Structure 1
Amino acid sequence: MEQRHPHARSGPAAGPPVPLGPDSLTWKYFGDWRGVLLAPWAGAMQNMHPGLGAGVAEHSRFFEERWQRLFRSLYPIGGVVYDGPRAAETARRVRGYHDTIKGVDEQGRPYHALDPDTFYWAHSTFFMLTLLVADRFGPGLSDGEKRQLFDEHVRWWRLYGMTMRPVPASWPEFQAYWDRMAREVLEDNRPARDVLDISLIARPPALSWMPYAAWRALRGPLARFTVWFTVGLFPEPVRERLGHRWTVRDERRLRRLGRIVHHAWRLVPFRYRYHPRARAGWEREAGLRAADAPQVESPVRNSPLPEEMDSPKHYVPPQAPDLR
């Protein structure tokens, strides 16, 4: 029998899971563009999980379309947080994309992307990404605010309709879970290392105006900075497993960078701080966007590779998306 989780609700009066709203800290930080800075961190942390890494190795073509996959995925994943009354429907679609991702890894271990422990690990990295954006590149978080973010990530998880079994019962228990995963479960594998290897990455869409020669010259220093930045956010056991050093000087430099990012970000107008799907949520709550307006979808330029368009594991943007 499944152990009852303190956040679980049951019975006819409980009703469906309650989506997060603009009063939540998750709304304040998850859809913030600063989160893109942590994309390599999230990708590496996720891929170091044995089941998740095996799924990426055998089913994903992420490394052939890094920018497209990143910016495409932000729409449905962000929608589980920002879609309000439609958030549970978005969550069901996101869950459905993972249904066919299963198999047996090189060591003979079966895996499935919808295994609750595997799916929760991915979810936990999004929670920690939100926390890191606020704590390391924002104003900082009190312990009470970290507990609030933890409680909100439980509400967020419930939208997927998954079992509560893998979810820690409290913020202290989550910290113990995170430490145990870093020390005992995560592995040094090829998918994780490939995330950190951006030495040959294509130009991002925002820099399409830049000559290729200029991008090639910039790419090397950018790759080195990205690895340094990402390593600084890893738990210490993960750094050690991947063979990286982190000094007191490195930590001071990263914290100084975090303060610079925080103060610079305060100068950015509110509406430009957020991803379009998140911005649509804020506008809906402010009465600037109709509740039944079409969802903001990824531009067609972020579509999957042509031969992957019919795969059930992909979110495929509509042919006439909202390009705001």
Structure 2
Amino acid sequence: MPESGYFADDSMIRRVMRKRAVGLTYGQRALVVGAVNPLLYVGTAEHTAHRATPYTRLAITGRLFEAVALGTRAEADRARSYTDKKHAKVHGELPEDAGAHHPAGTAYSAHDPHLMFMTMAFTFDSAEVMHDLLVRRLTATEREDLYQDYVYWGELFGMPPGAAPASYPEFRDYFDGYLASEELHLTEEARLVGSYLAGQQIAYPLPLPLNQVVNSVHLLVQGSLPTRIREMYGIRWGRREEMGFRALSRAVRTAHTSVPLTPRVLHGTLAGPSAPVYRMLGRREQELVGSGRPSMPGVDPRSYAERHTV
């Protein structure tokens, strides 16, 4: 009998995260949206070895998150141990003002209960949004079950019990209110990195057909963003973009809801872990950097202190 994980095989988190359309898009969306929280963005950027290689960081994070949601307990525990060791070093203060609500000197820590909840919140929100968009809309019961799975998922990564709202409706009221609040702020670096991750800026065009795949992911991520977030990044979004987004998302959704009519060659691509694709993204970025080209031109790999040392 295969070793079980922390989540039952029929749990909502597994049912949702096995859908590759979700697994391959929610992470980028979560990073783009989550960058509006300066404590999360600066805290991560100042304590990562991958400041200038965000796709490698996305790949590592994606594999860790997937190990806890989809893996065995042994795989999940290794991911949790690795994450805890990394988080132990993540604490400090904002080196400069990041909006009216986050002046220079504001403290951050990876073990701050609220910031742990916000990490879970951005992750859950993006998984929920991309499943609704690309697979099918969840029922109210499924949505609550998925939320409770993600609360437990957050607790497995160290989030204290009680840090998250008790129910999905309470979560949605809080989170939607947060996204409409004046707390949101993009630092200059967060705006630049997010614009690359969302496909607003393209550093190096990829060869066909990979270029079409990447452009499609970018269109889905941009179209899924709240209007305010798109405006904060200055992402152009008109009738042409909206029509393309609707047509593409409808096609992906149809492939999931009409599986018997879907070409057999696509059946194996609709479901399963996304870790192999994460690894491919990381390898490509490392090859790019190894050849002397920056992954995201303009992103300085040095910390704030290193950049401002006289």
Return the TM-score normalized by structure 2. Answer: 0.69
Q: Which residue of 2 aligns with 1:195?
A: 194
Distance 1:31 1:88 in 2: 20
Distance 2:54 2:231 in 1: 26
Which of 33, 38, 41 in structure 2 is aligned with 1:53?
A: 41
1:99 equivalent in alignment to 2:88:
yes
Unaligned runs of 5+ in 1: 1-17, 279-296, 307-324
1:142-170 per-position Cα deviation (integer Å, ceiling 9, x unaligned): 22221121121122122123212320111
SS of 2:180's equivalent in the other structure is: helix
Q: Which residue of 2 aligns with 1:256?
A: 247
Distance 2:105 2:64 in 1: 32
1:172 equivalent in alignment to 2:163:
no
The answer to whether the Cα contact below 8 Å between 2:219 and 2:245 also exists between their aligned partners in 1 is no
The answer to whether the Cα contact below 8 Å between 1:154 and 1:167 also exists between their aligned partners in 2 is yes
Counterparts of residues 71-220 of structure 1 (less than 5 Å): 71-86=59-74, 87-105=76-94, 106=96, 107-184=104-181, 185-193=183-191, 194-197=193-196, 198=199, 199-201=201-203, 210=207
Residue 230 and residue 82 in structure 1: after superposition, are their counterparts in 2 closer, same or farther (change >3 A)?
closer
Distance 1:302 1:226 in 2: 17
Q: Which residue of 1 aligns with 2:7?
A: 20
The answer to whether the Cα contact below 8 Å between 1:32 and 1:273 also exists between their aligned partners in 2 is yes
Identity %: 23
Distance 1:272 1:244 in 2: 29
- Identify which range, 25-34 or 137-146, moves more after superposition: 25-34
Q: CA deviation at 1:172?
A: 0.7
Q: CA deviation at 1:78?
A: 0.7
Which residue type is aligned with residue 24 of structure 1?
S
Q: Which residue of 2 aligns with 1:311?
A: none
The answer to whether the Cα contact below 8 Å between 2:124 and 2:147 also exists between their aligned partners in 1 is yes
The answer to whether the Cα contact below 8 Å between 2:38 and 2:186 also exists between their aligned partners in 1 is no
Which residue type is aligned with residue 56 of structure 1?
T
Which residue type is aligned with residue 67 of structure 1?
Y
Q: Which residue of 2 aligns with 1:269?
A: 267
Distance 2:194 2:18 in 1: 21
Q: CA deviation at 1:36?
A: 2.0
Distance 1:101 1:134 in 2: 31
The answer to whether the Cα contact below 8 Å between 2:66 and 2:275 also exists between their aligned partners in 1 is yes
1:39 equivalent in alignment to 2:27:
yes
Distance 2:37 2:156 in 1: 23
Residue 186 and residue 259 in structure 1: after superposition, are their counterparts in 2 closer, same or farther (change >3 A)?
same
Q: Which residue of 1 aligns with 2:229?
A: 238
The answer to whether the Cα contact below 8 Å between 1:95 and 1:114 also exists between their aligned partners in 2 is no
1:78-101 per-position Cα deviation (integer Å, ceiling 9, x unaligned): 111122333345324323322212
Unaligned runs of 5+ in 2: 97-103, 291-310
The answer to whether the Cα contact below 8 Å between 1:48 and 1:191 also exists between their aligned partners in 2 is no
The answer to whether the Cα contact below 8 Å between 2:220 and 2:245 also exists between their aligned partners in 1 is yes
Distance 1:57 1:276 in 2: 24
